[in-house]
Amino acid sequence: MSLPEKLSPEKLYKTCNPGEFSFRSTADLDGPIKATGQERAFEAIAFSMGIKHDGFNLFALGPNGTGKQTAIMQFLATIAPLAPVPSDWCYVNNFKQPRHPGALKLPPGKASTLSRDMEHLVEALLTVIPSAFSSEEYQVEEKNIREKFQEHQAEAFEDLEKKAAEQHIALIRTPAGFAFAPEKNGEVLKPEEFMSLNKKEREAIEKEITNLKSAMQLIMVQIPKWQRETQEKINELNRNIANFAVKPLMAELKNSYASLSEVIEYIETLENDIIENFDQFLEKEPDPREMLLGLPAGKFQQKGALLNRYRINVIVDNSKSEGAPVVYEDKPACQNLVGDIEHISQMGTLLTDFTLIKPGALHRANGGYLLIDARRLLLEPLAYEALKKALRTRQIRIESLAQLYSLVSTVSLEPEPIPLDIKVILIGERQLYYLLNVYDPDFSELFKVAADFEDELPFDGDGKLAYARIISAIAKTDKLRHFDRGAVARVIEQGSRITGDSTKLSAHLQSISDLVREADYYAASAKRKLVKAADVQKAIDARVLRSSRIQEKIREATLKNSILIDTESEKVGQINGLAIYSPGGQSFGHPGRITARIRLGKGEVIDIEREVEMGGPIHSKGVLILSGFLGARFAIDQPLSLSASLVFEQSYSGVEGDSASSAELYALLSALSGVHIRQWFAVTGSVNQFGQVQAIGGVNEKIEGFFDLCNARGLSGKQGVLIPASNVDNLMLRSDVVNAAKKGRFSIYPVTHIDEGIELLTGVPAGVLDKSGNYPPGTVNGMVVAKLKEMAEKIRKFTASSSNDED
């Protein structure tokens, strides 16, 4: 078997040649940013925004920082201005049912105009109506009506008084009312005089008085009727006067909105209410109780009440809009989405009216596009359900949450719902999208389109130019220094490093933006007009330094032998594996000692990490795969008569992943064969049951972690790392590692199979089956087979001896 050769330095890092750029600096770039590699997502966005059927709302999914929101906003900026401007909406008083305010739809810009017109109307009515009712004509007419009532009443009493006088009976007015008394010679008889009359005369007088009282009773019964008739005439007069005063103003208002039938209908209702309640426009004396409470009095209070009653509460004003609205709701609480009904406290009571209805994001975005962060939406109580309800019913219904859930006992409003025509765009992580798809049956009905943003861009001409334009846009937007070609090339290389793939560039624009801003800081410190590659490198180094405390502490403990890692000798059943640590989002690698021990047993490979519940399921799966490999290779003709134990030495926080399974297998093969493993190598890579070494993640950090330890102890030229051959394209190593490889002081070997790795690690051939099905003696596999046969024989003899002893 031919051994893999160490990788050339050119394979360890993919450079970006600044000379291939046609620009001198990013200041020369002014074209649009083209996010190459996101065609699938852009096609989904265009489809969702273009189709007009229900339920085709969009969910943009991908990692945070990949520019999902920016890309969507840029797309909407191209189509929204071409769309028609949506209608204005306002709430008005429902004079018949004040708890159910009405909604008015008006052409763009007309709602604010109507609101101003209504304010001017109230101002005019406050002058016109009092003037009409204080006019001489009104005063004369009202006086005549009241005088006619007085005359009618006086005539009735005069007739009764004449009739009584004919019978020598006087009509006397007293504080308690009217009374009748007999008179003689024009003088009212005294009681003793009346009693001195004979009985017949007294009875005659009493009879007449009774008749007169009956007549008086008839008059008193008629008086309320005459009063009602008088009041009806006065009311009729008031209506006529109010109508006369209001009609010209209302006619002028109707002419302004003649083409809007709903507005005309409202104005007519408004006109009737003003005429019926004209007295509210007449100046009233201030209420002393209100003055004691510090409330505004007189005209100010009167005007405020009228303005509220006849106010136009503009919910949506598109007077300054161009095209369809695009709204991003940063805090998608329920009331911020569908609107709210506010209350004011007055004398210990919560009050509300239609003027306290507040719009939500759905109102502002109606007829256009609404963007919401999905995670923030789900964190707000009831907000997601409110959004779904609005989309299902295609209308915005404002409900008081406090009233709905009986949090307060005040009477609230039930405004008329507003029709909804909108495209909603949720932005979130992939996991959130998949969870909603599985657990919410409504989600797939309302968000039928997914725009799946790529995590990576191709490392080609288009991708590099896209990076350059992004850097240029950031510099112009944030007023930073522009980058020269070398600095752009270094950012591109770091973008590839972030992905862990030399053929790709990171689409995580947040990381690139942060690097651009940090590099500008160091260029400013150096007083440079353009950002250089050295500034970018300094920003990268500074970022690593800021998060390297834990890494340095672990390396320091290793150098002091508090953590035992051997990088010089050769040992049986011991190997250096590579692990990744990610505290605070910054990853680094460090070697860890893996040991294997064997004994007589029944073919089990014991994962000590799993036994003590420190190993995760993926790591445990990797160890079980080792059992499959050992059984298939060495237990075809005989059972595996061993028990083996594997452990990560000095691990205290758990182990997960299968990237150490190849290292564990090498340690087992060494323990079985007795062949020493060279400790100046470290190993990473997973393995399958056929012994093939498979790709793993974090290969750059793992290599650099072992290199840092070896470099701290002194590079001897023989140290190196074995990696899966399928990870070669992922290599974007630090410059110091690449330089050490150029000088032959550190090596990286690509391995495709366990047999290649064990030969590199031991210097002993792995061994291949000959024609008779045996491994050659002196090879690793041959020594493993010999050891297993020896152990099987020992078990056989022990079993036989035990049986004889029992007999």
DSSP structure class, residue 613: T
Give φ, ψ of 614 to 5 degrees: -110, -5
SS3 303: helix
Residues 6+ apart with CB under 8 A from 739: none
CB 62 within 8 A of CB 68: yes
What DSSP string runs through 341-380? E--EEETTEEE--GGGEE--HHHHHTTSEEEEEHHHHHHS
CB 753 within 8 A of CB 691: yes
Residues 6+ apart with CB under 8 A from 94: 100, 101, 102, 354
CA 571 to the chain's CA centroid: 56
Q: Which of 116, 145, 200, 208 is nearest to 171 (CA)?
A: 208
Residues 6+ apart with CB under 8 A from 41: 60, 62, 68, 71, 451, 452, 453, 454
CA dist 795 and 423 (Å) reads 74
Q: Which two tokens stand for residue 519?
A: 């590099």
First to last CA, the chain: 52
The residues carrying an active-site annotation are 659, 702
Q: How deeply is 12 buried, as exposed, middle or buried, from its count of CB atoms within 10 A (0-12, 13-18, 19+)?
A: buried
Residues 6+ apart with CB under 8 A from 191: none
List beta partners, residue 350.
345
Q: To 5 degrees, how large is the angle CA 513–CA 518–CA 519?
A: 100
For 140, the enclosing helix (H) or strand (E) is: helix 136-166
In SS3 terms, 713-765 reads as HCCCCCCEEEEEHHHHHHCCCCHHHHHHHHCCCCEEEEECEHHHHHHHHHCCC
CA dist 633 and 164 (Å) reads 142
Q: What is the CA radius of gyration of the chain?
A: 48
Q: Which two tokens stand for residue 21?
A: 């750029």
Write the single-letter amino acid at 775: Y
SS3 404: helix
CB 390 within 8 A of CB 332: no
